[in-house]
Every structure is written in structure tokens, then in C-alpha cells.
Structure 1
Amino acid sequence: MSSERLLFDFVRSKWRQFAFAIALIATANIVQSYYPKLLGSFTDQLQRAELTPPVIVDYSLMLLGIGVTFALFGGVGQYIIMRIGRYFEFVTRKKLFDHFTQLSESFYSQHGVGKLLSYVMNDVTSIRESISLGINQTTNAVMLIAAAVTMMAISAIPLYLIAVCIAPLLIIPFVVVKLGPVIRMRSLSVQESLGKMTESAEEQFAGIRVTKKFAVEPIMIRRFGESVDRIRDNQLRLVRVSSLFQAIIPFLGALSLVVTIAYGGYLTIENRITLGNFVALTLYIRMMVNPLQQIGNVINTVLRSRASLERINDLLARPADIAEDEGAKPVNLDRSGIRVSGLSFAYPDAAKDALHGIDLTIEPGKTLGIIGKTGSGKTTLAKLLLRIYDPPAGAIRIGGVDIREMTLESLRTQIAYVPQEGFLFSTTIRDNIAFYRRDSSLGEVERAAKQAQIYASIIAFPDQFETMLGERGVTLSGGQRQRTSLARGLIKNSPILILDDSVSAVDAVTEKAIIETIRAERRNKTTILIAHRISALQHADEIIVMDEGRIVQRGTHQQLLAQPGIYAVLHAIQEEGSHYAEGIRTPGSGS
């Protein structure tokens, strides 16, 4: 995909509107080109003493007509093109966001939010300017220059004089060839540094509370200042070459005007051209200087926008890491069992497998508990079930169907996944809980909140379920955010529920109430509980213990306690910690 493809496809889709706008601007400039010719004729008649009041009125009305026509046609044409440019901004940002939703988690782990915002804000704006400014000024400049040269040729001005006067302007193409690539590369550096600065700013804002708690504001200011300094340096490098480019064109225009006055004035004195032709020639050459400067602006803008075009096209050309196979079909996962066979998986660029040789079966309506140390592969297994990452073909089947043969929508809409750190949006608590089921009634939202043991906390707020949350749910405590996220998963009422350490931030009493509610509500539905605390999953029909990406133990709670291994060790440690905590809460207990 060429760097200009995005822009070309858009312009082609709007070619009728562009053509109409260009015709209006062209007409305006053709009419404007009569201005010097009229003044030349007026000068000749003035010199011959042929002017009378009616003739002066005629000239005045013609000049007024030129001004009104130019303003009306040119203004409408420019408005249309500016409007199209804004529409490009609108559709391209929507296209980018749609593409972002199709990219996998691995993409976002490699690209910060600030960099992605740079695509949406800086790059799209740069391209939009090349459309609006580029087409407006290019049409203005080309038509005015063409009309000026034509009018000079038909005004009895010698062609050799025209050629001599515009000769300095012919140097401009060589300037473009020489400086153009330099401007484009330096523009690319500016856009990349802007993305890094935006990324740094987003990170600093998100972590401002940590910064204040550790009193490291000077360090953060210096770190952000470094990214700003890089932008300054790159922009100054761009400004130097852009300024040189912008200065050369007016200089060449001024040089043409000097040649016109010197040589044209000499020919006028020698009576080889009329005074009126000399006036017209001077005005035409002067009229051409501004369009040439506009061409310089356009070239400068287009060269800068090409860097943005390349960045956006590269992004849009990036295929989704997780794509539906041809022939993928929607499936119904209700009352479907899960079978994992010989599953091994490694993250991109990882030195070793995150999972190795995983075999397990979850019967429909049963509960599986998963426990293990941090980094043992528990969350990786959950993400593979959702195809956040792609498992090997045939390694995971639900209801006997390979999940790679299912449509992503049917798979993910029928699995409710609640992570340890659930993301909450800056909207009401009700909207956050009803995130998937937007048509949920208040009663359904309240029921899910009660199941997640967050209802009492919500109704304690003045606005209850209409309470607006701050960014990422900052209004709530850690435990409240976790239970609100849990309510969002429970209201989905999916055939399969995965809780990935989703009650780790609540106390033991609340955890027990949540687990008992889930057991009662999901008696005939498949549930996967991932936890570090044994108390959260000891009721499961089967528990697997993971270590180093492998299943090292499996069985019920009682079976695992009866055999030596990680599970029994974890149970002993957690029981000892529980007794210690109970002793702290109950002074004099003897603990």
C-alpha cells in the first residue's frame, strides 16, 4: 500500500465535490486575471487623454465585478474544500479507531496510549491540512499563473519579454527536488517525537498519585522535559530547512519583479511596448509571486503530511493478529464442555513456553479451580480460551468445536471474563455494570451488584447507581472496583464464566459470600475460578495446580490436601496466615 493510497482513495470518493470546488476557484482566478489587463488599458487611455466620466464609471464597475466574482466564487469553492477536509478527518479517525479494536493485546503491549493518540490527533490533522490547504492553494496558484501567462500572451506583450521575466521562477522545481526529501524525513522525526511526548504525558498523568506519594515530582518533570526537548530539537531542524525553502521562493519572485521593472522599463522608454503593457506586465509578475509562494506552502505541507500518511498507512496495513478463519461459524456454547489437549504456547519473542503440554477437561456445568504461583500460566490459559492470543489449531475445543473455527463474536459474547484489575469507565456505576447488556433494567443491575456484594456500598453514595466514577473508577476503593467489575461479568450471565483472581481485594467474609452466591446462581453453568487463595476455589469440582506453565497436580480440595505438593504447602501457609490475622483482630485470643 503506497503512502498516498489513503489520501487518493478519499479524493476519488469525493471527486465530484472536489471538481465543483476546483471549478469555482478556477473561475475566480480566471476572472481575477483580467484585473491587470484592465488597468493596463486604463493607463493607455489615460496617457492618450481618452478618459471620460462614463469610461471611468465603466472601468470602475468592471473592477468591482471582478472583485465580487472573485470573492463569491473563490469563497464558496474554498468552503467546500475545507468542509471535505474536515470530513476526511472524521472518517479517518473512525477508521483508525475501528482498526484499533481489531488489533490484539500483543499490539497494545508494544504501543503506548500516547503513541496511538498521536496517530489519531497529529497525523490525521497533518493530512487534513494537506487536503484543505493543498487543493485550495494549488488550484489558486496554478490557475492564476496559467491565466496570467495567457493574458500576458494575448495582451501584445512580447513573448521574449515574458520569458525573461519568469526565468528566475524556473529554478523552483530544482529547489523542491533538493529540499523536499529532507523536509519529509525531518517531519517524520517530529511526528514520532510528538507521539513519544504524548505517551510520556499520558503515563505521567495516570501515575500522578504515585508520583506525589513518593515526592518524586522533580524526577518526573525532568523525564517529561526530556521528551519535550526532543520535540524542540526535531522541530528546529525542520524549521531550519522549511524556512530556507519558504525564503527562496519569495526571493525568486522578487528577482522576477526586478527583471520586469528593469527590462520592461527599458523597453517602455524605448517605445517598444506601451506604458499600459508595462503596467499590466508588472502587475501580472507581481500577481504570480503570491501563487508561487502558495505553491511553496503546499509543497511544504504535502511533504510533511507524507510522513503522517506513511505512519497511518503502515498502521492500517498491519493485519489483526487474531483473525477469524475462513468459514468460521457462530456457535451456541450453552451446556458445552471444554477440552484442552496438548496445549503449548509461547508469547512472541519469549525465551520459553508460557504453557507446556496442558491437558484438561471441564464437563458442562462444572467448576474448575486453578491455582499456582505468579507467572505459572493461569491467566495465559484464560486468554487463550478467549482467543486474546491464538492457541494451536485443535488445542482448545468447546462443545467439540475448535475455537479457531468459531466466530470471535460468538466465542467472546458467551464467555464472561473478569480480570483481577477490571477496567472501569468514566461514567455511572450503572453504566459500568451494564456495560455488555446496555438494555439492562435497574433491577437487573441491582441484582448483579448484590451477587457481587457491592450493592450496600453503592446505595451509600448520594447518587447510588447514578454515581459518576472518576477516571478508571478512581472514585471507588480497590475492593469496590473489583466487585463492580465482577458485577459486570455476572450480569452477562454467560454459559462460561472465568474469574481471574477477581476477589483478591476483598476480605475473607465477603469472598465467602461471593463464592456461595456464584455457586447458587451458576449451578448448571461452567465456571473457571483462578485464584491465589485456596478459600476461593476449594468447593470446585476439580482443582488444577500450575507451576512453570505445567499442570503439576489435579483433584478435589480433599484429594489435593491428602498428597504432598504445592497445594498442601499453600494451604498450610494460608491457614497459618489466617490464624495470625484472626489473632490480631481478637486481642487476648492467645494466638
Structure 2
Amino acid sequence: MNSGRLLLDYLKSKWPHYGLAVVLIAAANIIQSYYPRLLGDFTDHLQRGELTPPLIASYSLKLLAVGVLFGLLAGIGQYVVMRAGRYFEFVTRRKLFEHFTRLSESFYSKHGVGKMLSYVMNDVTAIRESISMGINQMTNAIILLVAAVIMMAASSIPVYLIAVCVAPLLVIPFLVVRFGPVIRKRSLTVQESLSKMTESAEEQFGGIRVTKKFAVEPIMVRRFGETVDRIRDNQLSLVRVSSLFQALIPFLGALSLVVTLAFGGYLTIAGHITLGNFVALTLYIRMMVNPLQQIGNVINTMQRSRASLERLNDLLSRRPDIRELEEARSVDLDRSAIRISGLTFTYPEAEKPSLRDIHLTVEPGQTIGIIGKTGSGKTTLAKLLLRVYDPPEKTIRIGGVDIRELTLESLRGQIAYVPQEGFLFSTTIRDNIAFYRRDSGLDQVERAAKQAQIYSNILDFPDKFETKLGERGVTLSGGQRQRTSLARGMIKNSPILLLDDSVSAVDAVTEKAIIETIRKERAGRTTILIAHRISALKHADIIVVMDEGRIIQRGTHAQLAAQPGIYAMLHAIQEEGNQYAEG
């Protein structure tokens, strides 16, 4: 993708605003270009002894008018540019967030939160600054340079004198060609380093409680310090180049001014030009130095922002692994069977399959239990049902339709998924439970909380359902977080409920109450229970046992407990543990 596409698309949409700003800034600088001419004429009148009080008043008013008009027009133009630049931040950050919501889980498994924050904060800010500074200063510079040259040419200053004085400034374009690519490359390295620092900081802040409990603060400080040191080294490398580039431009400007004073002064003494022309020429050359330095600043900033543009355009060019077909359709899953046939799945970049030749049918209204050792493929199966990853074509059907042919909203909107580690947001308990159904009344939220056996705990808080949770629900215990997440799934009241070890953090008594509630509330509706504890699955219509990605046993609890195999072994171990706990 063209590295400037994001910026060009935006500028096209806001061209009236930027067009107005350019006109205002240009007009301000054209007016400013009269300043040296007025001072030169004033000097000639002074030298010839022609000044009178009315003439002095006239020049004073003209200079005042130039100053007022310049300040007014330049100020309004700069305001328009800055406001439009802030709007760029708003629309781009919103666009980025929307893009993040569309990307697949595989993207987030490779990129940390800190890197995404760096995109949203550092890169967008860098581009916004280049827009505001670029349009403002570049318009200033170009118009002022052109106006200065025109005004000098229109005066009685000899052309050869103008050419000699301006000659040192002609080296600047060669500096731009030489330094531009180097600055851009080093700016990209700096932005990548900032992303890694943000990732490291986000990780350290998220794990600060673990750090303090293990008393390893010095190790974490040293680790973060190493990241900061890399940023310092990269930034110093960039500063060395950009500083040299920016220092050379004023030097050339000063050299041009020296030539003007020397050669122009000689011609003035010799009587070839008037003192007023010499003053005007000196002021025009001095006036040209500042815009040339501005051009250097703009080029420097734009090279840096180009690195950010490349990063953002690369991000926005990424397409989700999970995409809807153009002819994707919606299906009512309420009375739909789930049929899995010949499912073999390998994660991207993995060497061996996580699931092998899975065959499973879940009839409408059935409760299916799935159990197995850690890493046996249980959660992978849940992710495929939700199309977090795409299963092979025609291996999973719901209601007779390949789930790859369903819209994501139709599929995921009709499945209530409750993972083992349910994420809670930094808002109220009520908002967390009503996350999917934002219009739920308090009575519905309370009912879901009772179903998840978290209601009495919530009432113990001073603000009850309006209690605000800390980041990721840190205010709650592990079991409370899990049950709050379960309440979120229950209030959704979807045709299919998928619980992925969602009661692992609760005690046996609470687990039993939750399972009984699910049996009662979900009667006649499809429920899939993934668990490590057999006690959560005993009531299931059918239980499948997984090992190394395969289904190795299936049947009711009674059937499996009576058969030699993993299930009977797990049952015996857990029963022995329960007896020990009771004893």
C-alpha cells in the first residue's frame, strides 16, 4: 500500500478547510513581504532628508497595518490547520480501533497491547504534527520565499547581486536528498522501539501484583531499563542526523547574509545601489533564511511521520483471517443440531494438529460434556465452534449449514461463550453482566447473578450492582470474577451455551448449585460443558473424553465410569480427593 494513502485520503476529505488555511496563511505572508520594502523606502527618504511628520505617520500606519493584518490572517489560518489536525487524530484513532475489532485472534497472539497503544498514540500524533506543521510552515515558507524573490526583482536591486546573495541557499535541496532517507529510516527504528517500550510497560503494570508478591522489583526495573536504553540509543542516533541537517540550514542562511553584507555593503559604498536598497536586500535575505529553516523542520518532521504512516498503513492493510463470504447468511440456531465430521485442525505455524478426525453430533436441546487432560484440544474445539479460527470447509455444520457460510454476527450472537478466565471491564458489576444486552433492566441483571450464584456476594458490596471494578475485575476474587462472567453468559440467553471450564474456580457446593440452575434454566436448549471436574458433567446427556486431539471415549457418566480408560481414572482420582477433603 502507498505509504501516504492514509494521509492523502484524509486531506482530500478536508481540502476545503486546508484550502482556506493555505489562502489565509499565503495572504498573511504576501502582506508581510511588504515590510522590507517599506523600511527600504523609509531609509531612502531618511537619507535624502525628505522625512516630514505626515510622512513618518504614513509609514508608521502602513507598518502597523502590515503587522495587524499579518497577525490576524496568520492566526486564523493556523487555527484552522490545528483544528483540522486534531480532527485527523479523532477519525484515525476511531478507524484504528474499528480495525482492531475486526482483526482475528491470531493477530493478537503475535502483537501485545502495548504495540497497539503505540499505533494509536505515538504514530497518530506524529502524523498529526506533520500535517499541522507541514501545511502551516510549508505555506509560510513557500509564499514568503516567492514573495521575497518577486519583491526583490521588482525593485531596483541589481539581478546579479540577488543571484550572488541567494547562491548559498541553493545547496539546501541537495541536503534534503541526502539526509531525508536516513532520517526516515532511523525514525522508523525509533517508533518500533517505542512500541516495544509500551508493550513492556503494559506488561509490567499488568503484572505488578505478581512482581511485588515475588519481591523481584529490581529485576523488573532492570528489564524495563534495558528497553528504555534501547530507545535512548535509537533516538540519539536519530537526533545526531536530524540535528546536523537542521544546523546546516541556518549555517547556509548565515553564509548568505554574510555575502549580502559584504557584497551589498561594497556596492552601497561605491554608490551602485542606494542605502534603502541595501537595507531592503538585507531584510529580504534575512526573511528568506527563516522559511528555509522551516522547510528543513517540515522535511525532518515529515520524514519521521512517513515512518509512522508506513506502520499505520501496514496495520490497516492487514485483513482478518476470519472473513465472511459475500453470500453469508443468518440461521436461527435455536433448534439446530451441531454436526462435526472429520475435523482435523492445525494452528497456524504449528507443526502438528491440535485436533484429529473429530466426529461429534450435538442434537438440539442436548447437554454435552467434554473432558480431557490439559492440551487435549477442548478449548480449540470451542474456538472453532465460534470461528475464532476457521475450521476446514464443511467439517462443522449448525442447522445443516457450514459455519463458514454464516455471518459472524449470526453465529457468535447466538452462542453464549463463557471462558475459564472471563475478562471484566473497569466499570460497574451491572455493566459487566449486561455487557451483551446493554438495555437489560436491573431485574434481569439480578436474575442472571442469582443463576451464577454471585448475587449474595454482590449485595455485600456497599454499592451493590453499581460497584465499580478495578482493572480486569481485580476488585473481585477469582471465583467471583468467574461467576460474574458466567452471569454475563446467562443473561445473553442464547440458543447455545458454551462453558469452557467456567466453574473451575468455585467450591464444590457452589458448583453444584450452578450446574443445577443451568439444568433447570437451559432445559430444552443446547449446552456444551467443557470441564476438568467430572462433578460438573455428570448430568450431561453424553460425555466425550479427549486426549491428544482425539475423542477416545463417549457415553453417559455411568457408562464411562464403568469402562476402563481415562474417564474412569479421573473419576477415581477425583472421588478419592473429595473423600479426603470431606474427611
TM-score for the superposition, normalised by structure 2: 1.00
| Aligned twin of 2:564 | 564
CA displacement, residues 7-49 of structure 1 (integer Å, 9 cap, x when unaligned): 0111111111111110000000000000000011011111111
* Aligned: 1:518 with 2:518: yes
* Aligned: 1:366 with 2:366: yes
Q: 1:85-124 residue pairs with structure 2 within 5 A?
A: 85-124=85-124
SS in 1 for 2:339: strand
Q: 1:302-313 residue pairs with structure 2 within 5 A?
A: 302-313=302-313
SS in 1 for 2:543: strand
| Aligned twin of 2:228 | 228
| Aligned twin of 1:332 | 332
Q: 1:356-395 residue pairs with structure 2 within 5 A?
A: 356-395=356-395
| Cα distance in 1, alignment partners of residues 343 and 261 from structure 2 | 84
SS in 1 for 2:427: coil
Shift of 1:132: 0.2
Q: 1:240-259 residue pairs with structure 2 within 5 A?
A: 240-259=240-259
CA displacement, residues 176-195 of structure 1 (integer Å, 9 cap, x when unaligned): 11111111111111101101
| Aligned twin of 2:76 | 76
Q: What amino acid sits opposite 2:332 in the alignment?
A: N
* Aligned: 1:10 with 2:47: no
| Cα distance in 1, alignment partners of residues 499 and 452 from structure 2 | 12
Runs of 4+ in structure 1 off by over 3 angstroms are none
CA root-mean-square deviation: 0.6
| Cα distance in 2, alignment partners of residues 107 and 549 from structure 1 | 24
| Aligned twin of 2:355 | 355
| Aligned twin of 2:61 | 61
CA displacement, residues 522-569 of structure 1 (integer Å, 9 cap, x when unaligned): 001100000000000111011000000000001111111121111000
TM-score for the superposition, normalised by structure 1: 0.98
Task: Report % sequence identity.
Answer: 79
| Cα distance in 2, alignment partners of residues 47 and 524 from structure 1 | 105
| Aligned twin of 1:164 | 164
| Aligned twin of 2:143 | 143
Q: What amino acid sits opposite 1:495 in the alignment?
A: P
Q: 1:541-556 residue pairs with structure 2 within 5 A?
A: 541-556=541-556
| Cα distance in 2, alignment partners of residues 5 and 271 from structure 1 | 56
Shift of 1:271: 1.0
| Cα distance in 2, alignment partners of residues 314 and 31 from structure 1 | 43
| Aligned twin of 2:399 | 399
SS in 2 for 1:339: strand
| Aligned twin of 2:217 | 217
CA displacement, residues 241-293 of structure 1 (integer Å, 9 cap, x when unaligned): 01101100000000000000001111111111111100000000001111111
| Cα distance in 1, alignment partners of residues 461 and 17 from structure 2 | 54
| Cα distance in 1, alignment partners of residues 368 and 492 from structure 2 | 19
Shift of 1:321: 1.0
Shift of 1:158: 1.0
| Cα distance in 2, alignment partners of residues 247 and 375 from structure 1 | 60
* Aligned: 1:409 with 2:426: no
| Aligned twin of 2:179 | 179
Are 2:424 and 2:485, in contact at CA under 8 Å, matched by a contact in 1? Answer: yes
Shift of 1:484: 0.3
SS in 2 for 1:368: strand
Q: What amino acid sits opposite 1:578 in the alignment?
A: N
Shift of 1:216: 0.5
Q: What amino acid sits opposite 1:486 in the alignment?
A: L
CA displacement, residues 397-452 of structure 1 (integer Å, 9 cap, x when unaligned): 11111111111011111000000000000000000000000000000000000000
| Cα distance in 1, alignment partners of residues 193 and 247 from structure 2 | 26
| Cα distance in 1, alignment partners of residues 319 and 267 from structure 2 | 67
| Aligned twin of 1:239 | 239
| Cα distance in 2, alignment partners of residues 68 and 321 from structure 1 | 58
CA displacement, residues 195-237 of structure 1 (integer Å, 9 cap, x when unaligned): 1011001101111111111110110000000000011000000
CA displacement, residues 441-495 of structure 1 (integer Å, 9 cap, x when unaligned): 0000000000000001000111110111011001110000000000000000000
Q: 1:413-492 residue pairs with structure 2 within 5 A?
A: 413-492=413-492
SS in 2 for 1:498: strand
| Cα distance in 1, alignment partners of residues 413 and 364 from structure 2 | 18
Q: What amino acid sits opposite 1:541 in the alignment?
A: D
| Cα distance in 1, alignment partners of residues 297 and 163 from structure 2 | 25
CA displacement, residues 47-84 of structure 1 (integer Å, 9 cap, x when unaligned): 11111111111100000000000000000001000111
Q: 1:253-272 residue pairs with structure 2 within 5 A?
A: 253-272=253-272
SS in 2 for 1:322: coil
| Aligned twin of 1:588 | none
Q: What amino acid sits opposite 1:112 in the alignment?
A: G
Shift of 1:346: 0.6
Shift of 1:329: 1.1
Are 2:331 and 2:399, in contact at CA under 8 Å, matched by a contact in 1? Answer: no
| Cα distance in 1, alignment partners of residues 548 and 161 from structure 2 | 86
| Cα distance in 2, alignment partners of residues 356 and 65 from structure 1 | 83
| Cα distance in 1, alignment partners of residues 39 and 206 from structure 2 | 65
SS in 1 for 2:544: strand
Shift of 1:330: 1.8
| Cα distance in 2, alignment partners of residues 486 and 196 from structure 1 | 35
SS in 1 for 2:417: strand
Shift of 1:332: 1.3
CA displacement, residues 100-145 of structure 1 (integer Å, 9 cap, x when unaligned): 0001111101001111100000000000000000110000000001
| Cα distance in 2, alignment partners of residues 218 and 48 from structure 1 | 78
Q: What amino acid sits opposite 1:482 in the alignment?
A: Q
CA displacement, residues 564-591 of structure 1 (integer Å, 9 cap, x when unaligned): 11100000000011111111xxxxxxxx
CA displacement, residues 276-332 of structure 1 (integer Å, 9 cap, x when unaligned): 100000000001111111011000000000000000000000011111012001221
| Cα distance in 1, alignment partners of residues 309 and 83 from structure 2 | 20
SS in 1 for 2:235: helix
Q: What amino acid sits opposite 1:207 in the alignment?
A: G
* Aligned: 1:45 with 2:54: no
| Aligned twin of 1:587 | none
| Cα distance in 2, alignment partners of residues 329 and 82 from structure 1 | 45
| Cα distance in 2, alignment partners of residues 322 and 272 from structure 1 | 78
Unaligned runs of 5+ in 1: 584-591
Q: 1:338-349 residue pairs with structure 2 within 5 A?
A: 338-349=338-349
| Aligned twin of 1:204 | 204
| Cα distance in 1, alignment partners of residues 7 and 198 from structure 2 | 25
SS in 2 for 1:320: coil
Q: What amino acid sits opposite 1:93 in the alignment?
A: R
SS in 2 for 1:328: coil
Q: What amino acid sits opposite 1:232 in the alignment?
A: R
| Cα distance in 2, alignment partners of residues 79 and 250 from structure 1 | 27
| Cα distance in 2, alignment partners of residues 9 and 164 from structure 1 | 42
| Cα distance in 2, alignment partners of residues 348 and 292 from structure 1 | 52
